[in-house]
Amino acid sequence: MKEKSENYRRFSMAKNACQKIGSPSPQYKLRKLTEEDIPDLQILFRETVLHVNARDYTREEVEDWASCGDSVEHMKDLLARNDYVAALNERDEIIGFSSMNAEGYLHSLFVHKDYQRAGIGSLLLSAVEKRAREYGVTEITSEVSLTARPFFEKNGYEVMKVQKRRANRLELTNFVMRKRLKDWHSHPFPPVRKDPTCRHRPQGYTERPTGTALHPPPPSPG
């Protein structure tokens, strides 16, 4: 009886832990972004770069990087050239966003500084990869920050090269990464997840912050 009670206690602890750090909570949802969302995107982008990426880049570097989102016209151009999707909390506030073009270039993936390690990055990345398959893309490429590299490596992306990428005035270090997508339609036995609400994670696992910033956007016009 004592052993049974202990097993139940461990099961309850594992279930509670999985609910905290497993799949994104049901209150998170996705929607397409429009030009009306630009002010919120600018704030999220700037705050994330200045706070999350500051642990891997100097103050001067993150300030220069954050300035790349200051131009509204530049943001409009990015929205026109990329497919943007946002993650929303229960109050319909934007807490993260990702963008990709029709060629499979993952331009950005940012998560609000207060929602790190909550599964938002994984939610957005899954949406991007699903969209890539809809485009018929077989490989996703991106330019990934120092902060985001571990997150992408855990999700099957590999480093192709290290490079310097110009933000606004400064050149920052990042990584060209890629992931070849598997075509599950051609697989005779698609993968089955027994419990879609809970992914098994090793004890002590925490999701690495995405840094949310994959790479410095192109310099703002002017």
Flag whether 205 is in a domain. Answer: no
> Could you tell me the pLDDT band of residue 182, with boundaries at 50, 70 and 90?
confident
Asked whether 142 and 105 are in contact (CB, 8 A), the reply is: yes
Helix boundaries (H) for 57-194:
59-66, 72-81, 120-135, 149-154
Q: Is pLDDT of 55 > 90?
A: yes
Mapped onto helix, strand or coil, the DSSP state of residue 95 is strand
Flag whether 198 is in a domain. Answer: no
In the chain, how many domains are there? 1
Q: What is the pTM assigned to this prediction? A: 0.72
Asked whether 187 and 123 are in contact (CB, 8 A), the reply is: no
Flag whether 194 is in a domain. Answer: no
Task: State the pLDDT at residue 82.
Answer: 96
Flag whether 218 is in a domain. Answer: no
Residue numbers of the domain that contains 79: 26-186
Structure tokens at 22: 């497993």
Flag whether 77 is in a domain. Answer: yes
Summarised one tens digit per residue, pLDDT across range 104-161 is 999 999 999 999 999 999 999 999 999 999 999 999 999 999 999 999 999 999 999 9
Q: Which residues pair with 163 in a beta bridge?
A: 174
For residues 59-83, give the mean pLDDT.
97
For residues 41-48, give the mean pLDDT.
97
Summarised one tens digit per residue, pLDDT across range 80-117 is 999 999 999 999 999 999 999 999 999 999 999 999 99
Flag whether 34 is in a domain. Answer: yes
Question: Any idea what the CATH number is for the domain that residue 128 is in?
Answer: 3.40.630.30
Structure tokens at 76: 């409009």
Flag whether 196 is in a domain. Answer: no
Task: State the pLDDT at residue 79.
Answer: 97
Return mean pLDDT, the chain: 80
Flag whether 210 is in a domain. Answer: no
Residue at 49: amino acid letter: V
Q: Please state, as a whole number, how many other Cβ atoms lie within 10 Å of the Cβ of residue 34.
A: 10
Higher pLDDT, 17 or 171: 171
